[in-house]
Structure 1
């Protein structure tokens, strides 16, 4: 699949007159609990020509293949690709956008040019805000818990949509750094040996062994529901004690990265 992903990225460059800078896996395959037929959720950064940036008009700053942007070559049905134009990505990086941080920390990198990842990670501590990321993960956990796990019957794979942000948020509270992407690393570090951890490990094993459409409605896992409710309440209390820094020292560095990559991509 990696060869096909690179082929699609290169075809995208030709048809949309852009240069791809970085591409990685961002979904369940990156997190380490993909099913047998999980999609490939490829996320990428790209940069336009110099002329594109010398315009008074704002233009579309995302590419989504094949859902909204077509190519002249076939795209594998399991392939979902979504990319951000570089200045959009850098503005979100400055705001400590957690999904973008997850892209940069992915263990499955498909494509990179011009040392883009190295340049971005070199200033990570200038842009990382524990408070911003924690609020993101707390909100995600609360929303998904209410939406998916409080019925008489639930899809067990939805537990991951609450467990992952819970553990990511807990890592931030304890370490004040961005959490590892691998879910099993978070479980090992943050969930003590006991009934909750056993239930989580069983969920992981079942998720990996089944196809996506094979998951049926089942009674909720009460030990996990209790655990998640307690952790959400704990994280909400902790967010009240954390304050965001208002000092922005990253903008000149981000501008420098943009100009350098623009020059290298089109020299």
Structure 2
């Protein structure tokens, strides 16, 4: 993985203060290819003047660039948008929030991670079911079957099952497979780590992977049905309170 010194300048160049910034994508999932880009994700804080005025600030900032030979894809959302997304059955933003690969953090980031536990519901299973189905279709329709979408299929299914069972977001396939112990996962990861981003599985056993995909889909559905996670999020009041405090603090700091 690139050193922090190579990635931190991208963070410091952002136009607004950041609540947090983390690394997502293949580096978080545990199977980056040598040529994988760096997916940086986070949340920024628009000043009050760019929220209440007629001309509002950038709710979402996207930056794609090549820096020091690294392909970087950065996306940040204003805190209000990020908090709103967190209240939906959106596992993607929660994976960004709980990523252990932290480039920038604040006390409010730590507070948000605690509050966001109240955003997790049984219905997050739909996010992982839908994501797995999309990736399987992508893998199955390709004439040259790439290892990347297949790894995504297994990653999101295991993340979803584990979430339904424990209420904990775990996006790293290596860590997940320490529990699930699927014997074919290490070989797939090794191929991805050693090859290019678009490396293919010339010997893919489609019947086997289809069987495993369907089995894990069923396991995720069963885990959702038996999960003790709540039906709806409870974190909205706490998120609202944090949003107000963060926004007012940005106004006070500017005056100071």
Q: TM-score range by the shorter chain?
A: 0.7 to 0.9
Q: For residues 231-257 of structure 1, give each alpha carbon's deviation from its aligned partner in whole angstroms, at most 9, with x where no partner exists.
A: 1133345546669624x5422211211
Q: Counterpart in 1 of 2:244?
A: 259
Q: Distance in 2 between matches of 1:96 and 1:257?
A: 20
Summarize the alignment of residues 140-155 of structure 1 with structure 2, pairs less than 5 Å apart: 140-149=131-140, 153-155=144-146
* Cross-structure match for 1:183: 173
TM-score, normalised on structure 1? Answer: 0.82
Q: Indicate which of 113, 128, 143 corresponds to 2:120.
A: 128
Q: CA deviation at 1:164?
A: 0.7
Are positions 1:137 and 2:128 aligned together? yes
TM-score when scaled to structure 2?
Answer: 0.85
Q: Contact 2:33–2:195 at 8 Å: present in 1 too?
A: yes
Give RMSD over aligned pairs.
2.5
Structure 2 residue 209 is matched with structure 1 residue 216: no
How has the CA–CA distance of structure 1 residues 263 and 76 changed in structure 2, closer, same or farther, with 3 Å as cutoff? farther
Q: Contact (CA 8 Å) 1:47, 1:85: kept in 2 or not?
A: yes
Written as runs of structure 1 = structure 2, the 5 A alignment for 1:1-267 is: 1-13=3-15, 18-55=16-53, 60-66=58-64, 77-113=70-106, 115-131=107-123, 133-149=124-140, 153-175=144-166, 177-191=167-181, 197-213=182-198, 215-216=199-200, 218-221=202-205, 222-239=207-224, 245-246=231-232, 249-266=234-251, 267=253
In 2, Cα distance between equivalents of 1:20 and 1:201: 36
Runs (5+) with no aligned partner, structure 2: none
Post-superposition Cα deviations, 1:92-113, rounded to whole Å, max 9, x if no partner, equal 1122421111011111100123
SS of the aligned residue for 1:78 comes to strand
Which stretches in structure 1 are left out of the alignment for 5+ residues? Answer: 68-72, 192-196
- Per-residue CA deviations over 1:219-239 (Å, capped at 9, x if unaligned) read 423433321122113334554
Over 3 Å counting, the alpha-carbon distance change for 1:258 and 1:116 in structure 2 is same
SS in 1 for 2:183: helix
- 8 Å Cα contact 2:38/2:70 also seen in 1: no
Q: 2: CA distance between counterparts of 1:75 and 1:153? A: 31
